[in-house]
Amino acid sequence: MADMSKLLEQARRAAEASYCPYSHFRVGAALLCKDGTVLTGTNVENRSYGLTNCAERSAVFSAVSAGKKEFAAIAISTPDSAVAVAPCGACRQVLSEFARAEFPVVFAGRDQRVDTTLGQLYPFDSLQNLKNGSRG
């Protein structure tokens, strides 16, 4: 079982490295691999906003680049928001490529924390149906 509070603290620290000159909205992610390795990511903005990369995807891409493809949990921190901000649709889609519905997800702002699962965030993922043996 992952220590989600410890993982969330690593995500908070990762947010400090954020490159967000346009939104001024820092995001950090800490991705726990099944072998115990933690890789972090942060949001990296670009003046061509569509080329921006989210913290969650930065962490996943970093992990895959390091040869890690089996993940145990993820934590996301948005320290510039009082409320917890959930991963965007693109990040949910990328996470679902590597994780099952029961994959633990925690996300937090300064004053709110949400503990959930990927399946609760992304309940109708077609790939999950394939992973679970359903072709319908």
Just list the catalytic residues: 56
Q: Of 110, 118, 114, 116, whose CA–CA distance to 12 is shortest? A: 110
What are the E-state strand segments in 46-127?
71-77, 104-108, 113-117
At 37, the amino acid letter reads T
Separation between Cα atoms, residue 78 and residue 15, nearest integer Å: 7
Show the tokens assigned to 75. 């934590």
What does R_g of the chain's alpha carbons equal in angstroms?
14
b/e per residue, 73-93, with b = 16+ CB within 10 A?
Answer: bbbbbbbbbeebbebeeebbe
Residues facing 84 on adjacent strands: none
